Amino acid sequence: RKEVEQDPGPFNVPEGATVAFNCTYSNSASQSFFWYRQDCRKEPKLLMSVYSSGNEDGRFTAQLNRASQYISLLIRDSKLSDSATYLCVVKSWQGKSTFGDGTTLTVKP
């Protein structure tokens, strides 16, 4: 079993749709959680950190469920520009980051 697992998709949604991604992790001692966005043939870019209380940044909402060991990312009112691969990242207390393989999102007009 992988340490961090994501549904690879692809998720194909129309503009304006709401889409949610989940990510599960196996190490219960994980400390920090992040979502990154990666465009084709580009470097990953930080989308948002994930806090225990949940956090929102515009159309994006991230949540953490420590009991069930998963994090989620919700995108509301999808835009064409949201098309990308979304990477879930889990950091251990020693600072080691483990990346999921990513979930591919395509938003269509």
Partner 1 sequence: SQTIHQWPATLVQPVGSPLSLECTVEGTSNPNLYWYRQAAGRGLQLLFYSVGIGQISSEVPQNLSASRPQDRQFILSSKKLLLSDSGFYLCAWTRQQNYEQYFGPGTRLTVT
Closer residue to partner 1 in complex, CB, 1/41 = 41
Range list of β-strands (E), the chain: 4-6, 11-14, 19-25, 32-38, 45-50, 55-57, 60-65, 70-75, 84-91, 97-99, 103-108
26-45 binders of partner 1 (CB under 8 A): 31-32, 34, 41-45
Q: With CB under 8 A as the contact rule, which of the stretches 10-18, 55-63, 72-80, 98-106 interacts with partner 1?
A: 98-106
How many amino acids of this chain bind partner 1 (CB under 8 A)? Answer: 23
- Residue 99 is a binding residue for partner 1 (CB under 8 A): yes
For residue 82, give the DSSP letter.
Answer: G
Task: List residues bridging with 50 in a β-sheet.
Answer: 33
Binding residues for partner 1 restricted to 47-86, rule: CB under 8 A: 49
Residue 7 CA neighbour count, 13 Å, CB half: 12
- Min. distance of Cβ 18 from partner 1 in angstroms? 25
Q: Which of 41, 5, 21 is nearest to 86 (CA)?
A: 21
Which is nearer to partner 1, 55 or 98 (by Cβ)?
A: 98
User: What is the residue type of 92?
Assistant: S
Site residues for partner 1 per CB under 8 A: 31-32, 34, 41-46, 49, 87, 89, 91, 93-102
